[in-house]
Amino acid sequence: MSKYLKINKLSYTYPDGHKALKEISFSIEKGESVAILGPNGAGKTTLILHLNGILGKLTGEIEVDGLEYSTENIAKIRKTVGVVFQDPDDQLFMPTVLEDVMFGPKNFGYSNEESEKNAIEALKMVGMDNFQDRAPHHLSFGQKRKVAIATVLASKPKLLVLDEPASNLDPASRRDLIKILMNLNISIILVTHDLPMALEICDRSLVLNEGMIKEDSLTKNILKNEELMKENRLELPYGFALHHLGEE
């Protein structure tokens, strides 16, 4: 399989001198789903902001679908890499759900007709096609999360990056989200504190802490490694059964 995303020795220091990323290197295959795990302040959000070119410093340290991150390529890369932020209100600002979901494709040069077709298709993928005319601020939090994902899917990305998508969701909405993500036929990077969700969706996980990758392994092996979990402030929910990790 081809390496779809390659990151080579990516480092980033914020203007105040904080070193958020320290020589991060990893790659993912086309169609692969990978979780990024780690405590608050580990550098996870900084990493995904780089994947969409938001933090600038566009160099050859990142390559996606054969494109190096450069000023010339950034528009193509932002179409290829769709980022769903932690707060859905950051992505919902139009009068209706349909207009919100059409905004991305229109911005990337799709015609109005194509944008509407893509938007309706994306809303169907997340089970929100009956809410096209609703005002986003009248939706529940879980519904907003689905629409925020649709706003990204409508531009037909090949890599979907999600920052803490399970946060603030009730159990039924969380289950809906897992079903949606497992039915998508694209590469996924899932940044999450929800370790059971990571186990269910992603065979492979990276543990990021102190701006460095501490482990890159099968998700089930990471969750079974008590010392690694403790060192990186990771914890499974109370009562989580070991048989989920392939043990009796």
- Residue 207 belongs to domain with CATH number: 3.40.50.300
131 part of a folded domain: no
- pLDDT > 90? residue 96: yes
- pLDDT > 90? residue 70: no
Residues sharing a CB contact under 8 Å with residue 202, sequence separation 6 or more, in sequence order: 33, 34, 35, 188, 190, 219
Domain residues for 74? 3-90+158-245
- Quote the percentage of the chain above a pLDDT of 70: 94
128 part of a folded domain: no
Residue pair 106/115 in contact by the 8 Å Cβ criterion = yes
**pLDDT band at residue 24 using 50, 70 and 90 as cut-offs:** very high
**pLDDT band at residue 248 using 50, 70 and 90 as cut-offs:** very low
Specify the 3-state DSSP secondary structure of 39.
coil
147 part of a folded domain: no
117 part of a folded domain: no
**pLDDT band at residue 176 using 50, 70 and 90 as cut-offs:** very high
Q: Which of the two residues, 191 and 78, has the higher pLDDT score?
A: 191
Q: What is the pLDDT of residues 100-158, one digit of tens each?
A: 999 999 999 999 999 999 999 999 999 999 999 999 999 999 999 999 999 999 999 99
Only one residue has tokens 């629409």, namely 147
Mean pLDDT of the region 173-177: 95
70 part of a folded domain: yes
Paired with 217 in beta bridges are 205
Q: What is the pLDDT of residues 116-126, one digit of tens each?
A: 999 999 999 99
127 part of a folded domain: no
78 part of a folded domain: yes
Residues sharing a CB contact under 8 Å with residue 58, sequence separation 6 or more, in sequence order: 69, 70, 71, 74
pLDDT of the residue at 57: 64
Mean pLDDT of the region 215-225: 96
Nearest Cα to 184, choosing from 115, 92, 122? 122
185 part of a folded domain: yes
Element (H, E) at 179: helix 171-182
Number of domains in the chain: 1
pLDDT of the residue at 245: 66
